[in-house]
């Protein structure tokens, strides 16, 4: 009998047994639960544990391949999921191994790190956050999901919801920055984009909330390092974005590498069960990060494979990524009575449920359409959306004497610096299946934008080297030009996983190159490429204009040229503070005050002896090519009860000559409370796009939830008293009013 026929018979048996299993298990309350339990009832212990095992595919110069031992695991039902495998032909091949060879024909689920685009690469996530445009961020995730699902993927390891307030940490590039509210709203937008109309639609992928929890707060900013924080800090600052993504419907969660207060996340029942499931009601499945179960031994909480596996399954971890520890240890642990098989059953139910929701039992190959792969990947519309996102993500940090936008009638432009034609760097880290050879560099974008101008290009130096031999060529180019565009920053590999930096200034001799170019006296526009905040005091002091381009994606060069030459008015706002000195870190905008607040005339107040307290650029900061005038802040009532809401409004007028977008930011401060409160916290924002002379009104409604916090006894709620409402274009430039909660 052919294997496919055997699989068909197995599926029929599942359907026949559905009713019987329902009668035996009263907790199966709907059709989906009944289907899951029907399959589970047919499975051996080893087959169940196979569903809890995730292995990687590999890539070499000839393309994707699967290791021989993993191929055997797939065919024998010892692996239920594969990651790093994409492409219709390849995923079909692997799916056939599972469906046509295993006893029950249970399909695989394919996952991949689709972080900021799949084939069409958008700006890195921190850059997208700088747009403050939730609609555009959702659309970027939507396009990523369309492309990924068209290439056979079901599951993305995103969004990253880690708050980070330490720019030394390389993975700050993958998140939404330092603010709880902004990061939470962006987490929701990305989940909506990835999961689309719902799991099971052919253009959606399952979202995975990572890295749970508090991965963005490693000591010393060093990746994978310990995290130690109070319960208050955990709940006020780090947990909300994960919760927001789950509330939006994300179906999977990834554990973080770090320990939290001495307990590694992958072994933390407190995180994985007590908070995630019991408190938040999460019903999806939890997967580890890469080899995290194995790493419990290096943390020093497990002595061997058996103990590491027992700790993880008891904590509430359902799927083991890459370590293979569950596969090796769980059968023995169950048979020895050290782990209950019901724990295994619970984990497998969660995994099978997602596979049913994806429609894989109905048709394992439903995501394997060559037609969709040909027509939906890197389409013209997708590329235009990436260009638009890159424009919205760029932040104008300085524009002395309105040097920008540049005239398109300039005769000679010198494009200088190691990042000017850095094609690989445009798409940044975690660029999935993106093809960097298709990315558009700044040099190419400028040449396309002003084809009639003479463009002189000189690299000057490498990004991180010490060789200054190219300085002369660069200086000669600058002297010939009407204006210099100086492209500086990090290489893509300097931000991301395992890319922490103790010194977050410009790498190599780039500052020395800038110094030499500045000596020419030519007008200079610095375009900064980075995945993190950098300390660029000298550039801020001497360069006339600075445009933060981040790692802008496939269409980055074209997008930045749009801004440089005035086809787009920059509207990005910083989602993270840029420190003036690395010694200020952490230096986020929403710190608490002290008993000795800063006083320049009193040494014995909270400050440094050698540098100011102020950052180089504050959270929410960003310039544009037009100006805005703001009215005074208006509130419709000065007091409110727990059941009331207060309307806060402000008028904004475009007083300049170009259409522009202003991001109106609302902050709250509780000056007297049972616990010291931050000096301000973002609670609302909206964007107004106004033509010259046009006035727009930003309206917000403040209710008791906006005023709530974790009180002295750690209960969550409000306290009566006065609250300051502050509105403005950044966290430092504000207008305020006072309301009273009665």
CA distance to 121, 268, 304, 329, per residue, from 310 (Å): 40, 12, 10, 8
Burial of 455 (0-12, 13-18, 19+ CB in 10 A): middle
Cross-strand partners of 399:
545
CA pseudo-torsion sign 248, 254, 257, 260: positive
Assign residue 498 a region (left: φ > 0; alpha: ψ between -120 and 50; beta: otherwise). Answer: left
Do residues 645 and 701 make contact, with C-beta atoms less than 8 angstroms apart?
yes
How far, in whole angstroms, is CA 233 from its chain's centroid?
Answer: 21
The reply to whether 289 belongs to the active site is yes
Among 296, 561, 571, 354, which residue's Cα sits nearest to residue 450? 561
Measure the CA–CA gap between 742 and 721, rounded to whole angstroms: 7
Please report which residue ranges of 211-340 form alpha helices under DSSP H: 231-233, 239-247, 269, 292-299, 305-315, 325-335
Do residues 83 and 111 make contact, with C-beta atoms less than 8 angstroms apart?
yes
Tokens of 553: 């994606």
Diameter of the chain measured on Cα atoms: 90
Q: How many helices (H) and strands (E) does the chain have?
A: 22, 29
Measure the CA–CA gap between 337 and 181, rounded to whole angstroms: 45
Measure the CA–CA gap between 330 and 309, rounded to whole angstroms: 7
How far, in whole angstroms, is CA 283 from its chain's centroid?
Answer: 23
Tokens of 58: 């590999």
Measure the CA–CA gap between 464 and 490, rounded to whole angstroms: 8
Q: Cα angle at 178 between 177 and 180, to 5 degrees?
A: 105
Measure the CA–CA gap between 45 and 340, rounded to whole angstroms: 11
Q: Cα angle at 589 between 616 and 261, to 5 degrees?
A: 115
Classified as helix, coil or strand, 118 is coil
Q: Cα angle at 177 between 171 and 179, to 5 degrees?
A: 145
Measure the CA–CA gap between 508 and 464, rounded to whole angstroms: 4
Classified as helix, coil or strand, 375 is helix
Do residues 459 and 506 make contact, with C-beta atoms less than 8 angstroms apart?
no
How far, in whole angstroms, is CA 348 from its chain's centroid?
Answer: 28
Do residues 107 and 51 make contact, with C-beta atoms less than 8 angstroms apart?
no
Measure the CA–CA gap between 52 and 283, rounded to whole angstroms: 16
Q: What is the DSSP letter of 605?
A: S
DSSP run (H or E) holding 192: helix 180-195
- Tokens 């008891």 — which residue? 314
Among 412, 406, 418, which residue's Cα sits nearest to residue 442? 418
Q: Cα angle at 78 between 76 and 81, to 5 degrees?
A: 115
Set 133, 289, 318, 562: catalytic member:
289
Count of alpha carbons within 13 angstroms of residue 164, beta-carbon side: 33
Measure the CA–CA gap between 686 and 663, rounded to whole angstroms: 6
Cross-strand partners of 736:
726
Measure the CA–CA gap between 80 and 51, rounded to whole angstroms: 4
Among 224, 287, 297, 310, which residue's Cα sits nearest to residue 259? 224
Classified as helix, coil or strand, 731 is coil
Among 325, 387, 312, 412, which residue's Cα sits nearest to residue 549? 387
Active site positions, annotated: 289
């Amino acid at each position: 009998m052919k294997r496919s026929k055997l699989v068909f018979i197995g599926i029929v048996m599942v359907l026949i047994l559905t009713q019987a299993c329902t009668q035996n298990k009263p907790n199966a309350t709907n059709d989906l639960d009944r289907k899951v339990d029907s399959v589970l009832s047919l499975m051996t212990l080893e087959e169940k544990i196979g569903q809890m095992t995730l292995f990687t595919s590999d890539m070499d110069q000839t393309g994707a391949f699967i290791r021989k031992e993993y191929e055997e695991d797939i065919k024998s039902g010892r692996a239920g999921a594969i990651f790093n495998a994409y492409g219709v032909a390849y995923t079909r091949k692997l799916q056939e191994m599972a469906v046509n060879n295993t006893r029950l024909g249970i399909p695989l689920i394919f996952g991949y790190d689709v972080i900021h685009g799949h084939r069409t690469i958008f700006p890195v996530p921190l850059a997208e956050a700088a747009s403050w445009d939730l609609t555009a961020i959702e659309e970027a995730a939507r396009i990523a999901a369309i492309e990924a699902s068209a290439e056979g993927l079901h599951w993305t390891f995103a969004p990253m919801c880690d708050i980070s307030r330490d720019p030394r940490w390389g993975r700050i590039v993958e998140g939404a920055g330092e603010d709880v509210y902004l990061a939470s709203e962006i987490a929701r937008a990305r989940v909506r984009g990835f999961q689309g109309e719902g799991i099971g639609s052919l253009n959606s992928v399952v979202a995975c909330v990572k890295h749970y929890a508090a991965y963005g707060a490693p000591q010393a900013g060093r990746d994978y390092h310990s995290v130690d924080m109070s319960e208050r800090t955990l709940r006020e600052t780090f947990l909300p974005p994960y919760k927001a993504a789950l509330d939006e419907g994300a179906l999977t969660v990834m554990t973080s590498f770090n320990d939290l207060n001495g307990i590694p996340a992958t072994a933390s029942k407190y995180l994985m069960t007590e908070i995630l499931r019991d408190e938040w009601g999460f019903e999806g499945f939890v997967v580890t990060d890469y080899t995290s179960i194995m790493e419990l031994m290096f943390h020093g909480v497990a002595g061997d494979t058996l103990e590491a596996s027992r700790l993880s399954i008891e904590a509430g971890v359902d799927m083991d990524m890459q370590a293979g520890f569950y596969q090796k240890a769980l059968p023995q642990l169950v048979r020895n009575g050290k782990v209950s098989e019901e724990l295994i059953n619970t984990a497998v139910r969660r995994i099978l449920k997602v596979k049913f929701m994806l429609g894989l039992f109905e048709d394992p190959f439903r995501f394997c359409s060559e037609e969709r792969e040909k027509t939906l990947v890197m389409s013209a519309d997708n590329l235009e959306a990436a260009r638009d996102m890159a424009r919205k993500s760029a932040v104008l940090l300085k524009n002395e004497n309105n040097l920008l936008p540049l005239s398109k009638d300039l005769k000679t432009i010198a494009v200088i610096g190691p990042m000017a034609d850095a094609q690989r760097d445009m798409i940044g880290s975690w660029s999935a299946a993106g093809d960097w050879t298709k990315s558009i560099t700044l040099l190419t974008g400028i040449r396309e934008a002003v084809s009639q101008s003479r463009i002189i290009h000189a690299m000057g130096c490498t990004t991180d080297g010490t060789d200054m031999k190219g300085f002369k060529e660069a200086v000669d180019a600058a002297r010939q030009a009407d204006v210099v565009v100086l492209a500086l920053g990090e290489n893509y590999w300097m931000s991301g996983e395992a890319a922490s930096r103790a010194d977050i200034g410009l790498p190599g001799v780039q500052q020395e190159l800038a110094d030499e170019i500045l000596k020419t006296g030519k007008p200079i526009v610095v375009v900064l490429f980075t995945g993190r905040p950098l300390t660029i005091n000298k550039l801020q002091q001497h360069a006339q204009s600075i445009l933060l381009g981040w790692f802008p994606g496939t269409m980055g060069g074209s997008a930045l040229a749009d801004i440089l030459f005035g086809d787009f008015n920059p509207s990005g706002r910083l989602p993270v503070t840029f420190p003036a000195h690395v010694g200020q870190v952490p230096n986020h905008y929403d710190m608490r005050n002290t008993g000795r607040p800063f006083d320049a005339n009193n040494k014995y107040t909270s400050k440094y002896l050698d540098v100011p307290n102020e950052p180089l650029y504050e959270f929410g900061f960003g310039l544009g090519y037009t100006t805005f005038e703001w009215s005074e802040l208006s509130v419709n009532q000065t007091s409110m009860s727990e059941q009331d809401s207060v309307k806060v409004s402000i008028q904004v007028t475009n007083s300049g000559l170009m259409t522009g977008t202003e991001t109106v930011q609302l902050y709250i401060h509780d000056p007297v409370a049972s616990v010291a409160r931050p000096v301000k916290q973002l609670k609302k924002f909206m964007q107004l796009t106004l033509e010259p002379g046009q006035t727009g009104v930003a309206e917000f409604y403040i209710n008791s939830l906006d005023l709530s916090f974790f009180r002295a006894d750690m209960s969550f709620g409000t306290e009566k008293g006065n609250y300051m409402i502050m509105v403005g274009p950044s966290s430092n430039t504000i207008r305020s009013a006072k309301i009273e909660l009665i």
